[in-house]
Amino acid sequence: MDSWQEVQIQALLSAETELDFFAALSDAAGELGFEYCAYGMRMPLPVSKPRVFMVNNYSMTWQERYAQENYLSVDPTVAHGMKSVMPLVWSERIFSSCRPFWEDARAHGLQFGWAQSCYDAKGVGGLLTLARSNDDLSESELRSHSLKMSWLAHIAHEGLSNLVVAKLMPEAAIELSPREVEVLRWTAEGKTSSEVSNILHIAERTVNFHVNNALAKLGAANKTAAAIKAAMLGLL
């Protein structure tokens, strides 16, 4: 492992709180030439309104402006991160569909930037953004630092997930038995308890027993909701 990475991983993964972790993350971003650093994390639950965690070192005026204008809903870097884990370099083309947002961001010193998302087995998505107010990202800089930046995005997701997911999404700790998983998989395919009984060669009341256990563990109102929730958590 690169010596820079060794130093960073020690500082990042030894952090005991999300604020300590972000301080170390910001330092790492600074060493790569970025004055601004942000990390956003989106839980898969609740399905109707997923919980979100965001931390950054932007100015308070920009943080307030971003929230006030609900820029999260139009931010193209967020939209890109929800569809792709490929890194994204900011450009005029990227922000062409939301000029007011782009002009507002630049007025607050966010001129040049880069972003990359990560996803894990629990369905938690994260987006690392690195930005600065001066100097465009040159091709040579990207060639030199892109691997470190992508590595940092993955370490950021791993570290912050360990620190915040249990607080924001206690459902992440749920464990289902192999049979409960099997029954819910067939339920997710639209099979009735009777059909699942025939497929698995077990009594229908046994199918319902496992379904009810899964419902209780997942806190779901019905088996359809249980199947969806389990799938969102990566349990199926």
Q: What is the pLDDT of residues 116-165, one digit of tens each?
A: 999 998 999 999 999 999 999 999 999 999 999 999 999 999 999 999 99
Query: Which of these ranges, 10-14, 111-115, 168-172, has the smallest mean pLDDT?
Result: 10-14
Choosing among 1.20.1440.230, 1.10.10.10, 3.30.43.10, 1.10.10.350, the CATH entry for 174-232 is 1.10.10.10
pLDDT of 18 over the 90 cut: yes
Q: Where are the domains of the chain?
A: 3-170, 174-232
Q: What is the pLDDT of residue 61?
A: 97
| CATH class of residue range 3-170 | alpha beta
Residue 127 backbone dihedrals phi, psi, to 5 degrees: -135, 120
Q: What is the pLDDT of residues 64-96, one digit of tens each?
A: 999 999 999 999 999 999 999 999 999 999 999
- Distance CA(205)–CA(214), nearest Å, equals 14
* Paired residues of 116 in beta bridges: 128
Three-state SS for the chain is CCHHHHHHHHHHHCCCCHHHHHHHHHHHHHHCCCCEEEEEEECCCCCCCCCEEEEECCCHHHHHHHHHCCHHHCCHHHHHHHHCCCCEECCCCCCCCCHHHHHHHHHCCCCEEEEEEEECCCCCEEEEEEEECCCCCCHHHHHHHHHHHHHHHHHHHHHHHHHHHHHHCHHHHCCCCHHHHHHHHHHHCCCCHHHHHHHHCCCHHHHHHHHHHHHHHHCCCCHHHHHHHHHHCCCC
Please tell me the pTM assigned to this model: 0.89
